[in-house]
Structure 1
Amino acid sequence: MRAGRDWLKGPEPWSRRVLAGDLTIAGVLALLGLGADELSNSSGPKMLLGALAVVALVLLRRRLPAATLVLGAAASAFLPAVFLVTIVLGWSAGRRIVGVGRALVAFVLAFLASVGLTLVDQWALMRPLLTVVFTTLLFLAATVMPGLASRYWHQRRTLLSALQERNDRLVRERTMVAGQARLRERQRIAQDMHDSLGHQLALISVHTGALEVDPSLTDRQREAVGVLRQASVAAMHELREVVGILRDGVEAPAPAEEAQPAARGVAGIAGIVEAARAAGTDVRLGTAGRPRPLVAACDHAAYRIVQEALTNAYKHAPGAAIAVELRYEDDSLVVEIANGPAAERGSGEVVSGGQGLTGLRERARLVGGMVHAGATEDGGFRVAGVLPYGTEPAGLVEEVPDDFGQRSQARALALRGAPKAAPPMDWAALDRELAVPVRSRAGGVAMGCGIAVAAVVLLVIVLGAGAVLLLGSANKAMISREDYDAVHVGEFEQDVRKRLPDGDSVLTSGMERKGPPQPEGADCFALLSAEDSRMTTDTVFRFCFRDGKLVEKQAYEVEQ
């Protein structure tokens, strides 16, 4: 049972939803087919056979698209109920038959089966040429056009899917190449920093350590040298950490025997303020409000703001008093550092990279805060930062243009507060960012509606052409009862034919043979009554000629 079901559904996934949809389509088409059978006065067994054929063809179309197309076209010649299902079979075959040659062969065989069997079934009632033309138009409208539309739609989806897959692969490869290039550049920068700054800081640490034990120094000088040595050691620790982040993307652990740097958060601000006081700078620290904990990134940003502001005050306003204030507001922490004008002009050139305040603003922005810096009215300088309590650090976003004008966002690592074991690149997140729908549902519905409207318009044109042909044939095939009574046996054939239509119509084909036996050796033709025709029967007027004269005329009823 299961093996038969697997064979029936073929290579496509056949869920309960798909099965329910197929059964619904089969049921609707079977009901419409029963209505067509009722209009054509089909017998009960023929109606049952047509309904079963519709259900079987709809369920088998996924597994055997070419075979069901040919069988459906052949069955539509004898079973009116199967005609509507050829639309579904044409759509399915156009999508599922692999290869243009195989699809062409399947549609040609279906056309030949439809036309040939229709000729066999209607040979006694219709003219062959008219049958071929009308059947061809119906086949084009009901089978070929849905097949072409389905094939175009499926090929377009396949092409878009292939292009999207290639685009995703190119973007991932480009991102990987860019990541490797950044990693190489970071390693180069890390090596340069280690070789240059590390060497200079090591020299400072060694010389200050030697000076600290020099007996010729006073206690004040020895204290100042100790501060310098501690600053150089802390700078070496920070340099090692930065180098580790640049090289590996994670913080580099310090050796166990070395002293750990001071806490880099709000708790560490008091330490750098005390270090500044020990160096002889007038620094005051004030706190307002109830202290509240901050997330790691905001806590670290507060420490860096105070550190950078103090460094700027040392360089640009030596000897000036500095006030550091921490205000715990309802929704944020305000860090304010203000200094007065320089007490004395510093000697020597001030070394500054000009990027300190810019870096502070960027650091605050990444955690959802802001930094303001500017001169005060008394000639001093003020730096103020506003940092939220609970905002997580925002990830750095890099936009990489792809080959199709789209933008794929690749999330880089967070700031220093990220977990130590975080990888340098999250490919799963990158794939989710790159996931773009192949097609929109609205676009597919619009295309399907357009195809359906086009098919209906073509079918209406075909039916209209057929109605026009039938109307023209009716004018050549009908006379009134008065015209029939006006014709008398014994009149010359030439005179009778002048007064009557020629009877060359599909409506009267074969009618002359359905009445009483024809006179021997006579040539007869039949016309329909314009008044006496009913829903189930037609009144036929037959005229028979022999030796150039009318030898018999008959009026009889024929079932439709």
Structure 2
Amino acid sequence: MVTKRRWRVALDVAIGVFLAFTVVVGTLESRSYWELAGGLAVVVGSVGTARRYPTVSLGVALAGALAVPFPYGDHVPVWVVFVLVAMSYQAGLRMPRARPGILTGIACAVLGLPIALVFGQDGLGDWAAMVAILVFAGLSPWLLGRYVRVRGELARAGWRRAEEMESRQRLVAEQARLRERARIASDMHDSLGHELSLIAVRAAALEVAGGLDDAQRDAAAQLRTSAATATERLREIIGVLREDAAPVEPVQGDLGELIARARASGLLIESTVDTDGVPPMVARAAYRVVQEALTNVAKHAPGAAVTVRVTSDGARTDVRVVNAPPPAGPLPGAASGHVGLIGLRERVRLAGGTLRAGPDDAGGFAVTATLPHGAAPVERQESDDEAEVSTSARELELARRDVRRSLIQAVAVPLGLFAMVLAVAGIAFLHQWNSSELPAGVYEQLRIGQPRADVAPQLPERERAARPVRGEPPRPAVAGVACEYYGTGRSWLDNDYAAFRLCFADGKLVAKDKFAEGAP
């Protein structure tokens, strides 16, 4: 935590130093100490309050935009743009609600109007420039920050939801295992309780039979009492489980009858069953494997051919149920929750065996169980359950990838749009630059007093928009004079712009000049 806090402080300091550097560099040319002091105050105030009070930080940064209407050496403070971009994004990322930011921006735009009218050289033009900076350097980064924040909140909520789903699926899986254990206990209650009841009945008959002495009758009575007591205790311990998961099929189910009933219901089954000499626990587990597999075929692969193989070699029993791909596809809405397979896996595990279930190479589905005879329960393999059940984990990973992709898009899309606008503007600028060039030979041939009609055919189709802002000679003191500007052939990569100026009055050329921005 301390290291993370130090990184945050280091990041804030780095941002503050960079923004202060832009203020100092931006004020070197104008040499305005008021602008320097105000810019540094805006940087310190906005960066210092960015984490705890993002609304205040945004307000301070927006207040810096009010410097645009002021006549700071006839230039737009570039540091305002850097401060707005950095702090507006930070505010959008940290503000819990959007309304304070929107109200702060509107208040700054409204407050800037009277300031521009009173102090600005161009009045509404200066206010329009300020609003443009607020929109592109303030609103756009703020919206990007809000988008990243909302996406992050949605992602965190989705991850919490996925974790809840994961916990719920674990509970469902555990309930399925407990349900299968309850079914096994219920089977034991039915079979063992039945045998104990028969022992008690036979002992009672032996107790009243003739030809026995008193000691033998007492022994028979004790046997009857013990059997009855064991039956009652078995009912108390295990019988209560019947309420939640009582068996719906015979305790000693016959595989032949099960397959015959499945055939009668419409399944296409080819079967080979050999269960001679199989222990009851193993036979019961094999019965449940075949039963669950046929149920899944009827539910998820209607019309598919099924092959059932149950073989025993005296040491173990192998069960394999394979279905071909369904001819018409699975039933609509018949999504599997894998609960039956979870319970089946628990049944096989308690019988000391292993279960594998999944698609086969032919495009169908195979359920295979290996059941050793007389084996102890094996340890549970959590990875098997996770592979079958944990769909929310995969959804969580997909959600994380989607969030990362969205965050990349949140940055890439604005940059792409900016690059597109910049490219279009660059093409338009180059076209205007090249179509406003006045050849030097034509300029030299022009004579003062020459009629405008004679000069017009030799001039470019449009005037030069990007021309020097300094070094222009005074205009001729002639009434109604109008000056036109054209390029001199100097490259647009040269920052020292130059231009030809032609001034006309009363339809005649009254002055022609060539000047450059860097000229003394």
Instruction: Report the TM-score when normalising by structure 1.
Output: 0.47
In structure 2, the partner of 1:366 is 350
Structure-2 residue corresponding to 1:527: 485
Residues 460/223 of structure 1: CA separation in 2 closer, same or farther (3 Å cut): same
Partner secondary structure for residue 517 of structure 2: strand
What residue is the counterpart of 1:387 in the other structure?
Answer: 376
Q: Could you give the per-residue CA deviations for residues 334-366 of structure 1, whole angstroms, max 9, x where no partner exists? A: x99xxxxxxxxxxxxxxxxxxxxxx99966723
Q: Distance in 2 between matches of 1:481 and 1:232?
A: 124
Between 157-166 and 523-532, the greater mean CA deviation after superposition: 157-166
Out of 434, 442, 448, the residue aligned to residue 401 of structure 2 is 442
Q: Distance in 2 between matches of 1:120 and 1:536?
A: 33
Alignment of 1:141-540 (within 5 A): 144-159=139-154, 211=207, 217=213, 219-220=215-216, 222-242=218-238, 365-366=349-350, 369=353, 384-387=373-376, 440-475=399-434, 478-501=437-460, 504-508=463-467, 514-516=472-474, 518-519=476-477, 521=479, 523-525=481-483, 527=485, 530-531=488-489, 535=494, 537-540=496-499
Cα displacement string for residues 20-60 of structure 1 (whole angstroms, at most 9, x for unaligned residues): 444455566777x589959x967697789768856754554
After TM superposition, give the deviation of residue 154 of structure 1 in Å.
3.9
Determine the C-alpha separation between the residues in 1 that align with 2:130 and 2:424: 9
Matched residues in 1 for 2:345 and 2:478: separation? 115
Indicate which of 54, 59, 81 corresponds to 1:64: 54
Residue aligning to 1:83: 81
Alpha-carbon deviation of 1:67? 1.8
Partners of 1:549 and 1:393 lie apart in 2 by 102
Report the AA paired with residue 366 of structure 1: L
Cα distance change on mapping 1:440 and 1:72 into 2, 3 Å: farther
Structure 1 residue identity aligned to 2:445: A
Amino acid at match of 1:79: P
CA distance in 2, matches of 1:482, 1:41: 37
Q: What residue identity is the alignment partner of 1:514?
A: E
- Given the superposition, is the C-alpha separation of residues 387 and 364 from structure 1 closer, same or farther in structure 2, using an over 3 Å criterion? farther
Residues 74 and 114, structure 1, Cα contact 8 Å, conserved in 2? yes
Paired residues of 2:499 and 2:514 also in contact (CA < 8 A): yes
Shift of 1:105: 4.4
C-alpha distance after superposition, 1:400-434 (max 9, x if no partner): xxxxx9868xxxxxxxxxxxxxxxxxxxxxxxxx9
Contact 2:483 2:503 in 1 (8 A): yes
Q: Is the 8 A contact 2:498 2:514 kept in 1?
A: yes
TM-score normalised to structure 2 length: 0.50
Shift of 1:487: 1.9
Measure the CA separation in 2 of the matches of 1:121 and 1:461: 36
Please report how far the alpha carbon of residue 172 of structure 1 lies from its aligned counterpart in structure 2 after TM superposition: 8.9
Q: Secondary structure at the match of 2:512?
A: strand
User: Does structure 2 retain, via aligned residues, the 8 Å contact 1:525–1:544?
Assistant: yes
Task: Give the conservation status (yes or no) of the 8 Å contact 1:473–1:507.
Answer: no
CA distance in 2, matches of 1:157, 1:498: 63
Q: Is the 8 A contact 1:526 1:540 kept in 2?
A: no
Query: What number of residue pairs does the alignment pair up?
Result: 385
1:507 counterpart SS class: coil
Considering only CA atoms, is the larger Rg found in Structure 1 or Structure 2? 1
CA contact (8 A) 2:437 2:489 kept: no
Q: What amino acid sits opposite 2:473 in the alignment?
A: G
Counterpart-to-counterpart distance in 1, 2:431 and 2:508: 29
CA shift at 1:544, angstroms? Answer: 3.9
More helix by proportion, 1 or 2? 2
Q: Which amino acid aligns with 1:70?
A: L
- Determine the C-alpha separation between the residues in 1 that align with 2:354 and 2:390: 31
For residues 131-190 of structure 1, what are the alpha-carbon distances to aligned partners after superposition, in whole Å with 9 as ceiling and x for unaligned? 969985x876655555445444544554565677679889999989x99xx99xx9xx99
User: Cα distance 1:224–1:394, how it changes in 2: closer, same or farther (>3 A)?
Assistant: farther
Distance 1:169 1:503, change over 3 A: closer
Indicate if the aligned counterparts of 1:529 and 1:539 stay in contact, CA closer than 8 A.
yes
User: What is the CA-CA distance between 1:442 and the residue it aligns to?
Assistant: 3.4
Q: Contact conserved, 1:544 with 1:551, CA < 8 A, in 2?
A: yes
- CA, structure 1 residues 35+544, in 2 after alignment: closer, same or farther (shift >3 Å)? same
Residues 235-254 of structure 1: per-residue CA shift (max 9 Å, x gap): 4444444368889xxxxxxx
Q: For structure 2, list consecutive stretches of 5 or more residues without a partner in the other structure.
A: 69-74, 244-277, 283-313, 316-342, 356-371
1:69–1:86 CA contact under 8 A, matched in 2:
yes
Hey, what's the Cα distance between the residues in 2 that align with 1:224 and 1:139?
102
- Specify every segment of 5 or more residues in structure 1 that has no aligned partner in the other structure, as ranges: 1-13, 248-304, 310-334, 337-358, 372-382, 400-404, 409-433
Whole-angstrom distance in 2 between the partners of 1:104 and 1:476: 43
